[in-house]
Each structure stands twice: as structure tokens, then as C-alpha cells.
Amino acid sequence: MNPAVSIVIIGFAAILGAIIGSFLNVVISRVPEGESVVRPRSRCPVCHTEIGPRDNIPVVSYLVLRGRCRTCRTLIPRSYPLVEIATAVVWAIAALVILTQPSIGIAYAAMSLVIATALIALTVIDLRTHRLPRVIVFPLYAVVVAGLGIAAVTGDAGDAWGAVLGAAIWTVFLGGLWWGSRGRGMGFGDVTLAPVLGASLGWQSIWVSLAGLLAAFIIGAVVAGALLISGRASRRSRIPFGPFLAAGWAVALLVGQWAWDVYSAGLMI
């Protein structure tokens, strides 16, 4: 494809991602409270002024307002633009991958993008509330079944048994940690997310799925170690594990197959 066209498509995906990120901010603030994400319209939590369209443009409004409410000048949390930027980056990467590697199939790409987008919201919610709300996690089961089902029916390259086995291994492993630690080492929310992450990676191959699980624990150990050494956490601190599962999944999704190819090529020599 013409590089200029590709750049336009990637830019469009980023803008769409930023708009969806803006919606994720609503999800992040309301879902843990059990509130509707549709109504009422967004208001400043301090002065209750309704946020008008011109103050609701992703990232741009935050910069124009210099991070403060237009009416009462209360600081807007930095997580708002960060979530919008993160979602824009994820959508831009997705567009880049689909354009450069069409063989992965549109169903698998779309499923992965929905999961990645949900994981952004789940990461922020888990950091704030130490919970992974079922109303976000359970619909992802349907997304995985539909995505992999369509991919299988339309004959896209993929490993159906890898998906089933990946889901089983992630669930048994995280479920075992949850059960063995009586919920202290691993929350039940993490276990509910396991089949989604294990199956979606397993479609690439069981090795990619296992790499994702391994990567989650390596990233978790490194971050927890850094927090302990820097004194920002103690041995008693409860560090939510959802963000590490999300990070391990993302790493394996993007480079797991490549890493496995490099590793197995090394074994051949």
C-alpha cells in the first residue's frame, strides 16, 4: 500500500483510539461505582458543571485547559489524558500490524484490539480499586469465542487447540495461586480474566500463551522488586496483579511468536 495512505489510516486509528480512550475514562470512573456509563452527561466532580463538547476533546481539551476545570479550576487527574494517549497508541499499533501483517486475519486482529482496549480500563480500575469488574471481564468471553470462532470458520491461520489449552493452563495456574494463597497472592478477578488472555494468545500458539504468562510474572517481579527497594511498597502492600497480566499479554501478543521463532532457530543450530 502507498505509505501516505498507510500513515493516514494509522493517524485515523489513533484519533479513533483517543475518542474511545475518552469513553474509557467514563467507564473507569463509573463502573466501579455501579453507575451507568451512558447517563448522565459528564460533570466536574467538584463544581458539578456539565462538561461541554469543547472541553471534551481527548487530550486537546486537557492541554487547552492546562489540566484544570474551566469553571472551578480544580485539577483534572493526569490519568484522563494518559488513558486517551494509551488507547490512541494501542489503536495506532493495531492499524500498523493489520497493514503490515494481513495474514493474522481481521477477526483475530479485531478481537485482540477489543481485549487490549478493555485491558486499559481494567488496568486503571485494578490500580485504583484492586478489583476487575465482571461487567467488563465477562463480555470478553463472548468477544474471544466470536473472534476465534469467525477466524476458524473463515479459515484464518491459527491454532484452535492452542487456544483451548492456553485458556486451560492460564486458568489452572492463576486459579491454583488464588486457591493456594486463599486470595492473598492472586485475586479472583485475575482468575476470571485468565481464560480470555490464555485463549487469545493460544490461537497464535501454545508457546506464545505460555510466554505471556511467564512475561506477566517476570514484569510483576521486576516492578514489585523496584517498589520494595524504592520504599514505595512494603512486604505487606497488596499490589494488584491485573496490570501485570495485561502487560505480559500485550508483550506476548506482539513479540511472542517472533521470540519463539528466534529461540527455536537457536535450538536448531
Choices 17-25, 62-70, 131-139, 223-231 (CB under 5 A): range interacting with Zn ion = 62-70
Q: Which of 72, 75, 145, 221 binds Zn ion (CB under 5 A)?
A: 72
Binders of Zn ion: how many residues, by CB under 5 A? 7
Residue 71: CB atoms within 10 Å:
14
**d(C-alpha 30, C-alpha 42), whole Å:** 10
Verify binding: residue 7, Zn ion, rule CB under 5 A.
no
C-alpha cell at 204: 497464535
Q: What is the chain's alpha carbon radius of gyration, rounded to the nearest angstrom? A: 20
Contact call for residue 46 and Zn ion (CB under 5 A): yes
Q: Taking CB under 5 A as the rule, does residue 76 contact Zn ion?
A: no
Burial 227-238 (b: 16+ CB within 10 A, else e): eeeeeebeeeee
How far is the C-alpha of 241 from the C-alpha of 234, rounded, in Å?
16
Q: Which is nearer to Zn ion, 47 or 172 (CB)?
A: 47
Q: Which CB, 7 or 64, lies closer to Zn ion?
A: 64
Q: At its nearest, how many Å lie between Zn ion and the CB of residue 44?
A: 3
List Cα–Cα distances, 7 to 13, 20, 102, 106, in angstroms.
Answer: 10, 20, 16, 19
> Quick one: which of 42, 56, 71, 257 contacts Zn ion (CB under 5 A)?
71
| Site residues (CB under 5 A) for Zn ion, limited to 168-207 | none
The verdict on 83 binding Zn ion (CB under 5 A) reads: no
Among residues 28, 44, 194, 216, which is the contact residue for Zn ion, using CB under 5 A? 44
Going by the DSSP 8-state scheme, the letter that residue 76 receives in this structure is: P
Give the integer Cα–Cα distance in Å for 115 and 167: 14
Positions touching Zn ion (CB under 5 A) are 44, 46-47, 69, 71-72, 74
